[in-house]
Amino acid sequence: MSLFTFDDMKKIKRDKLGADVPLELFRSVRLIGMYQGLPMKGKNTTITVGREIGKSMPVQSIEDALHIFEELKIGIPRIVKKTENEMHIAIEDCFCDGLPIIEGNMVCDLEGAILEGAISTIYEGNISIREVKCNVNGDEHCEYIIRIS
Ligand SMILES: [Zn+2]
């Protein structure tokens, strides 16, 4: 049994400050706290955290998962290539857009793991997601490859 569900997260009762927190807070948790603050750039943690969040989401299709991703303002996902067992998803307006470029760094792994977790609830087989491009790395956008096997 989960203590919290994704639906619980939407139960917000803050009269003065409302439902939003600034992007710099999310970035600080993600990049200063996790990417920079955890061993191995937080790799194991971000995968676990992302998948858990994704699995908690009510998703019936890949489109649902992409829709929630945009609704949460992580970024605007677009399928740029699709084969039988592989999908390339480019992210426009990713939360990392505008950060200084630091080559060799791809910072949106947790967000990819959210997608992976969400999509894993609708497929029998193995889902794996890999971040192949990132604004922070100097790429033209962030991009994931999802493999379904
Ligand atoms: Zn990104």
Per-residue pLDDT of 1-28, as tens digits, reads 789 999 999 999 999 999 999 999 999 9
Tell me the CA–centroid distance for residue 53 and ligand 1, in Å. 18
Q: According to the model, what pLDDT value does residue 2 have? A: 82
Q: Please identify every residue whose CB atom is under 5 Å from ligand 1, which is an ion.
A: 94, 96, 108, 134, 142
* pLDDT, tens only, 71-105: 999 999 999 999 999 999 999 999 999 999 999 99
Residue 130 pLDDT more than 90?
Answer: yes
pLDDT of residue 127: 92
d(CA 133, CA 128): 16
Is residue 34 very low, low, confident or very high in pLDDT (cuts 50, 70, 90)? very high
Domains of the chain: 22-148 (3.30.1380.20)
Q: What mean pLDDT, rounded, does the chain reach?
A: 95
**Backbone region of residue 18 per phi and psi (left: phi > 0; alpha: psi in -120 to 50; beta: other values):** left
Confidence of residue 123 (pLDDT cuts 50, 70, 90): confident
Q: Residues 129, 87: contact at Cβ < 8 Å?
A: no
> In the prediction, which pLDDT does 149 show?
85
HSE on the CB side for 119, CA within 13 Å? 23
Cα-to-centroid distance, 16 and ligand 1 (Å): 31
Distance of alpha carbon 88 from alpha carbon 132, whole angstroms: 9
Residue 90 CA to ligand 1 centre (angstroms): 10
